[in-house]
């Protein structure tokens, strides 16, 4: 049996602007995960630079930070057994064009021709990342 975990889920500015917050949360809860904490914020550049620190120097870093600064973000502390891998599976692959039907990105996302892929959600990729990211956002 997998361990009880917490993960950070972010509904990115494109998801907030498209009024998909409720649908994304609905999918998490329908899977059996529990929302422990939730907040809607306009993140600062400093928070985003720390969140995406591993990408500093990569060509997509600045467009990614600019996109994440473009509107409100909803940060969610999500809990469940195996929730880190489970949410990433629920989210679908990074590119919404190739994300499987039935996933958040596959059903609700698409390519918009922007500098950086706008793919609705972020989910922590490991227990270590979840702990670090939850500490930043909460």
Q: Could you give the CA distance from residue 104 to residue 51 in angstroms, rounded to a whole number? A: 22
122 counts as catalytic: yes
Helix ranges restricted to H, 57-126: 61-68, 83-91, 104-108
| Beta-carbon contacts of residue 30 (< 8 Å; ≥ 6 apart) | none
Q: Could you give the CA distance from residue 70 to residue 62 in angstroms, rounded to a whole number? A: 12
| Beta-carbon contacts of residue 122 (< 8 Å; ≥ 6 apart) | 8, 9, 10, 12
CA atoms within 13 A on the CB side of 73: 24
The dihedral through the CA atoms of 86, 4, 123, 32 has a sign that is positive
Select which of 51, 55, 81, 122 is catalytic: 122
Active-site residues, by number, are 122
């Amino acid at each position: 049996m997998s361990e009880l975990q917490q993960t950070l889920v972010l509904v990115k500015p494109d998801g907030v602007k498209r009024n998909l917050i409720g649908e994304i949360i609905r999918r998490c809860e329908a899977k059996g995960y529990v929302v422990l904490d939730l907040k809607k914020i306009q993140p600062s550049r400093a928070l985003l630079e720390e969140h995406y620190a591993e990408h500093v120097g990569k060509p997509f870093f600045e467009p990614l930070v600019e996109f994440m600064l473009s509107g409100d973000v909803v940060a969610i502390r999500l809990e469940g057994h195996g929730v880190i891998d489970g949410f990433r599976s629920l989210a679908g692959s990074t590119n919404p064009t190739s994300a499987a039907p039935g996933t958040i990105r596959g059903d609700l996302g698409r390519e918009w021709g922007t500098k950086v892929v706008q793919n609705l959600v972020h989910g922590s990729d490991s227990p270590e990342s979840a702990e670090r990211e939850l500490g930043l956002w909460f």
